[in-house]
Amino acid sequence: MIIEQRFTIRYHYNIHFITGVFNADNPTFGDILSAHSNSGFSPSLLFVIDSNVGAQHPQLLSAIKNYLYQNMPGSNSPHFLIIPGGEKAKESSNAYQAILNAIHQYNIDRHSFVVAIGGGAVCDVTGFAATVAHRGIKLIRIPTTTLAQNDAAIGVKNSINAFGKKNFLGTFSTPVAVINDGAFLKTLSSRVWISGISEAIKVALIKDARFFERMEQLAPALTAGNEDAMLETIIQCAKLHLQHIASGDPFETGSSRPLDFGHWSAHKLEHMSGYKLLHGEAVAIGMALDCTYANMMGYLSSDALNRILDLLSGLNLPVTHPLLEDTEALLNGLNEFREHLGGVLTIPLLRDIGETCNVSIIDEPTMRCAAKKLAAVSQPTSLV
């Protein structure tokens, strides 16, 4: 006997692009709370804040309290938890456990909201904790870096690292909303500002040749810190990411992962560097490596390869690193990526700018040659 069960769940959330989310006259945050609050309940709020954001915005907590007092009189007092920013948030279970402890201590329930304010790693670990506590607490993400606003915080994935592997533990779940506040980008270091652009280049390379051309035009403005150029880049990158998530396999049940272009080696390089490489920097090197390999295998023309490397270098993104010399450790990343995909290796490679193909076999001798070729490239860099 078989009893078949089948149902469909509709997912919906908005990405808001604003400035000054906690300015008293900005209704966005209050409107989101009202739209997603259960009738008859006054929701509790737990704000999980990136320590880097807290240091750069020392008035943030008082601004949040004032915003709630002005816009939601009678609401419950907010709770705050500061956790380490950057990959430290994901590298051990400390931050994850601290969030769960706060959810328990402050009685944050399924009528409540967890609000993540920080870079991609803080949004990842906060989303993971919010998903597993009570089988899911409503999550609002307020990403504060260029990379988080155009990629890491706008999708459906949450995770922490474990067993020396990036994103080994994680969940798929959607936020109730994402708020991209441009004011947070003003305090980023130039290194973090530029790092996030690599994900925009990635999505342009695999999906939109005209966007790649536009990024070539915007490169001088982006390196100069132009806010309008960055906003244009983030919005288009976010659109392309969200279109991909909605169009096929949002919870990654298959092995084809075009959005992971350049990531098999990027994740390994991050770990090999002790996370001194930022994720965006590692992705830039990973794309340069896969494009060099594609060129050596006859997939990608030399003209296209040179345009890609020129744009990365022109944006002060790295295309080389001494760790590329350690091909033995680097190529272990292929096995880890295969495991991450479910046992079937599928690597996206470029045939042209804006055109990809999937390969299931990597010619390791050629990949070693590509890594050593890039390792020999001279590129001035301030990377630690």
Angle at 377 between CA 375 and CA 378, to 5 degrees: 120
Chain segment 163-191, per-residue pLDDT in tens = 888 889 999 999 999 999 999 999 999 99
- Residue 10, helix vs strand vs coil: coil
Question: How far is it, in rounded angstroms, from Cα 172 to Cα 130?
Answer: 11
Annotate 115-157 with three-state secondary structure. Answer: EEEECHHHHHHHHHHHHHHHHCCEEEEEECCHHHHHHHCCCCE
For residue 368, pLDDT beyond 50? yes
- What are the residues facing 275 on neighbouring strands? none
Residue 256: band (very low, low, confident or very high) from pLDDT cuts 50, 70, 90: low
At residue 29, does pLDDT exceed 90? yes
Q: Are 234 and 226 in contact (CB under 8 A)?
A: no
Average pLDDT for residues 274-279, to the nearest whole number? 94
Q: Would you kindly state where each structural domain of the chain is located, as residue ranges?
A: 14-187, 190-375
- The reply to whether domains 14-187 and 190-375 share a CATH topology is no
Reported confidence tier of residue 382, pLDDT bands at 50, 70, 90: very low
Closest residue by Cα to residue 94 from 112, 107, 82, 106: 82
Which phi-psi region, left, alpha or beta, contains residue 91 (left: φ > 0; alpha: ψ -120 to 50)? alpha
Q: Are 293 and 207 in contact (CB under 8 A)?
A: no
pLDDT of amino acid 254: 59
What is the C-alpha to C-alpha distance for residues 176 and 142, in angstroms, rounded to an integer?
11
Encoding tokens for residue 342? 């479910």
Q: What is the pLDDT of residues 56-96, one digit of tens each?
A: 999 999 999 999 999 987 778 899 999 999 988 998 899 99
Q: What is the pLDDT of residue 277?
A: 96
| Per-residue model confidence as pLDDT tens digits over 224-252 | 999 999 999 999 999 998 888 887 667 76
What is the Cα gyration radius of the chain?
21
Assign 140 to helix, strand or coil.
strand
What's the confidence (pLDDT) of residue 245? Answer: 82
Assign domain 190-375 to its CATH architecture: Up-down Bundle (1.20)
Tokens of 241: 């990411």
What does the alpha-carbon distance between residue 188 and residue 86 come to, in Å, rounded to a whole number?
Answer: 13
**Predicted local distance difference test score (pLDDT) of residue 85:** 93
Q: According to the model, what pLDDT value does residue 253 have? A: 63
User: In the predicted model, is pLDDT for residue 381 greater than 70?
Assistant: no
- CA–CA separation, 5 vs 339, rounded Å? 30
Convert the pLDDT of each residue in 194-223 to its tens digit.
999 999 999 999 999 999 999 999 999 999
d(CA 348, CA 81) in angstroms, rounded, equals 39
For 138-161, write each residue's pLDDT tens digit: 999 999 999 999 999 999 999 999
Q: How far is CA 357 from CA 205, 237, 294, 303, in A?
A: 12, 20, 10, 18
As a whole number of angstroms, the distance between CA 196 and CA 170 comes to: 22
pLDDT at 189: 96
Average pLDDT, the chain: 92
CATH architecture observed for domain 14-187 = 3-Layer(aba) Sandwich (3.40)
The crossing angle, in degrees rounded to 10, of helices 327-341 and 364-375 is: 130
Mean pLDDT value across residues 119-140: 96
Question: Between β-strands 157-162 and 113-118, what pairing exists: parallel, antiparallel or unpaired?
Answer: unpaired
Q: What is the DSSP letter of 151?
A: I
The residue to which tokens 């533990």 are assigned: 169
- As separate numbers, helices (DSSP H) first and strands (DSSP E) second, the chain gives 16, 10
Chain Cα centroid distance, residue 354: 21
